């Protein structure tokens, strides 16, 4: 046995325990870091060839392991842009150079330019939400954009569809054809009237007048006519428009089933909606609005308009952002309107613990971790996003303190082996004197 070999083995042991103490120190220092994943030191032996009469001491080497796949606890906050993942998956973020990273640190805050940035300076990425929901690119980061709330700071959308039910009095008087509102004459007889507010492409409010008139085509037949209110003559008929404005006018005839007093559904069925076109805001294509009338009734009761519902909204600034469990980012406007603007995507790899840690609690894929797979929260193996919550570190302070004490004891024992080897060397040197 070589005394020098024994001393080198002791040094190897002290170095190994120093590495172990380093991971313990990192874990304790980051015990309050959002999304931090604990590291640990694994030991393996180094064995040197020995003969029957002589033993050659080897040593020990260390490998650092990261418990990235281990879930941390969920803690709730008061910020709607704080995000936590319950289950598998990582947020996809980018650094100032646009390089994508993976992270579980979801403490995002909107900065001055509108980006959702976490405490490490990474911007949250997602797919822009267009007319249709986006589709994930499962094997790459193509199509992902840094989420910017300011891009949607002041928007409006035109009305395209709505519903406007009412009860029409079955006992109402029949109005001759020439005097019905659909004829748009000054002699029009108004049986019932109600109005509905819609929005044009610029977000301006436009009022439309609805007229309901019983006809003589049958005992249960009504005429519904629509006009643009600002085209009326002193608030009444006729409705006119001076070029280049275009007169908005549409009429539909409804027929009710006398057995149910609802719109007739048997052949020939009654129309259940009215669609009118308003090109007066100059947009292309011209604004077309479809109003659902399927809930109209004809009971022997006074005319009673129901609750009118229509889409579209006036220009309004964003007051808040909501992020659902499925990753849908919805802008909430001052007037109460909501609009989906982004879809947050999640990423994962086959071997999560083999990801390469980076500064800022971020990770990069490696050959050992495998190919990145991208998808949406609550789809397949991906977990759910919690808004107003953060994932705490998975560090257990009690376990780390135990590791620290054990590392200290083993380091001391290795130093005693080194000291003993040094004493033996002194004995050998003194033999020559």
Could you read off the pLDDT tens digit of each residue along the chain, which spans 433 residues? 578 888 888 899 999 999 999 999 999 999 999 999 999 999 988 887 777 777 777 889 899 999 999 999 999 999 999 999 999 999 999 999 999 999 999 999 999 999 999 999 999 999 998 878 888 888 889 999 999 988 777 777 899 999 999 999 999 999 999 999 999 999 999 999 999 999 999 999 999 999 999 998 888 999 999 999 999 999 999 999 999 999 999 999 999 999 999 999 999 999 999 999 999 999 999 999 999 999 999 999 999 999 999 998 888 888 888 999 999 999 888 877 788 899 999 999 999 999 999 999 999 999 999 999 999 999 988 999 999 999 999 999 999 999 999 999 999 999 998 898 888 888 888 887 6
What sign does the CA torsion over 375, 356, 116, 128 have? negative
Give the model's pLDDT for residue 1: 55
CA dist 258 and 297 (Å) reads 10
Report CA 281 to chain centroid distance, whole Å. Answer: 34
Compute the C-alpha angle 229/214/307, nearest 5°. 55
CA dist 330 and 337 (Å) reads 10
Indicate the class that CATH gives domain 159-311. mainly beta
What would you report as the CA-atom Rg of the chain, rounded to the nearest whole angstrom? 37
CB atoms within 10 A of CB 181: 28
Q: What would the pLDDT profile of 259-287 be if each residue is shown by its tens digit?
A: 999 999 999 999 999 999 999 999 999 99
Looking at the DSSP bridge assignments, the partners of residue 428 are none
Tokens of 430: 């003194």
Q: What would the pLDDT profile of 239-250 be if each residue is shown by its tens digit?
A: 999 999 999 999
Non-local CB neighbours of 420 within 8 Å, separated by 6+ positions = none
Q: Which residue has the tokens 């006036």?
A: 314
Cis peptide before 268 (omega within 30 of 0): yes
Are the beta carbons of 113 and 107 closer than 8 angstroms? no
Overall size of the chain counted in residues? 433
Looking at the DSSP bridge assignments, the partners of residue 65 are 40
Which of 135, 85, 138, 133 lies closest to 108 in space, CA to CA?
A: 85
Domain boundaries, the chain: 3-67+394-432, 78-153+317-391, 159-311
Which of 265, 123, 289 lies closest to 196 in space, CA to CA?
A: 289
């Amino acid at each position: 046995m070589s005394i020098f070999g024994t001393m080198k083995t002791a040094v190897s042991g002290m170095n190994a325990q120093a590495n172990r103490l380093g991971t313990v120190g990192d874990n304790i220092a980051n015990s309050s870091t959002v999304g931090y994943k604990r590291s640990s030191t694994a030991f393996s032996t180094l064995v040197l060839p020995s003969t029957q009469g002589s033993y050659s001491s080897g040593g020990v080497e260390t490998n650092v392991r990261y418990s990235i796949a281990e879930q941390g606890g969920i803690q709730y906050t008061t910020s709607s842009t704080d995000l936590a993942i319950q289950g598998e998956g990582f947020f996809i973020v980018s650094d100032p150079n646009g390089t994508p990273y993976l992270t579980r640190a979801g403490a995002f805050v909107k900065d001055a330019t509108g980006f959702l940035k976490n405490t490490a300076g990474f911007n949250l990425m997602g797919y822009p939400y267009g007319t249709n929901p986006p589709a994930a690119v499962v094997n790459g980061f193509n199509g992902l954009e840094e989420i910017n709330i300011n891009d949607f700071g002041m928007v409006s959308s035109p009305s395209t569809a709505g519903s406007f039910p009412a009860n029409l009095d079955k006992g109402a008087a029949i109005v001759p054809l020439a005097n019905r509102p659909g004829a748009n004459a000054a002699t029009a007889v108004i049986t019932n009237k109600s109005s509905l507010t819609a929005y044009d492409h610029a977000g301006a409010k436009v009022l439309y007048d609805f007229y309901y008139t019983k006809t003589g085509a049958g005992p249960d037949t009504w005429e519904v006519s629509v006009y643009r209110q600002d085209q009326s003559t002193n608030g009444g008929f006729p409705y006119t428009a001076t070029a280049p404005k275009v007169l908005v006018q549409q009429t539909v005839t409804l027929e009710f089933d006398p057995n149910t007093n609802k719109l007739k559904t048997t052949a020939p069925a009654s129309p259940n909606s009215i669609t009118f076109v308003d090109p007066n805001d100059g947009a292309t294509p011209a604004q077309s609005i479809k109003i659902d009338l399927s809930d109209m009734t004809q009971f022997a009761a006074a005319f009673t308009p129901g609750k009118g519902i229509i889409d579209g909204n006036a220009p309004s600034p964003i007051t808040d952002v909501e992020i659902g469990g499925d990753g849908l980012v919805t802008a909430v406007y001052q007037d109460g309107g909501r609009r989906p603007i982004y879809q947050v995507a999640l990423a994962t790899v086959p071997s999560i613990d083999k990801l390469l840690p980076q500064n800022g609690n971020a990770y990069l894929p490696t050959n050992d971790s495998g190919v990145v797979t991208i998808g949406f929260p609550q789809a397949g193996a991906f977990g759910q996003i919690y808004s107003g919550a953060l994932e705490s570190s998975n560090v257990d302070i009690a376990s780390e303190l135990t590791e620290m004490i054990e590392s200290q004891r083993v380091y001391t024992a290795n130093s005693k082996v080194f000291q003993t080897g040094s004493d033996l060397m002194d004995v050998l040197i003194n033999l020559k004197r």
